[in-house]
Structure 1
Amino acid sequence: MESPVYALDLIADPSDVDELGHISNLVYVRWVLDVARAHSDAVGWTHDAYRRLGAVWVVRRHEIDYLRPVRAGDRVQLATWVDAWRGASSIRRTSIRAGDVEAARASTLWAFVSFDSGRPVRIPDRLKVDFAGAPRGA
Structure 2
Amino acid sequence: MPTSQAGVFTHNFSVTTEAIDGNNHVNNVVYVQWMQDVAIAHSTASGGFAAVEASSGTWVARSHHIEYLKPALLRDVLLARTWVADVSKVRSRRRYQFHRESDGALIAQGETDWVFVDTETGRPMAIPESVRACYRVVEK
Gaps of 5+ in 2: 1-5
Q: Does 1:40 align with 2:43?
A: yes
Secondary structure of residue in 1 paired with 2:7 = coil
Q: Deviations over 1:17-67 (max 9, x none)?
A: 000000111111100000000000111222x64233110111000000000
For residue 121 of structure 1, the aligned residue among 120, 125, 133 is 125
Residue 63 of structure 1 aligns with which residue?
65
Residue 91 of structure 1 aligns with which residue?
93
CA distance in 2 between partners of 1:51 and 1:16 (Å): 30
TM-superposed CA distance for 1:125, in Å, is: 2.2
The alignment yields a C-alpha RMSD, in angstroms, of 1.5
CA distance in 2 between partners of 1:130 and 1:117 (Å): 24
How many pairs align? 130
Query: Which protein has greater RCO, CA pairs closer than 8 Å, 6+ apart?
Result: 1
Residue 109 of structure 2 aligns with which residue?
105
Secondary structure of residue in 2 paired with 1:39 = helix
User: What TM-score results when the alignment is normalised by the length of structure 2?
Assistant: 0.88
Which stretch of structure 1 is more off in the superposition, 121-130 or 70-79?
A: 121-130
Q: Does 1:17 align with 2:12?
A: no
User: What TM-score results when the alignment is normalised by the length of structure 1?
Assistant: 0.89
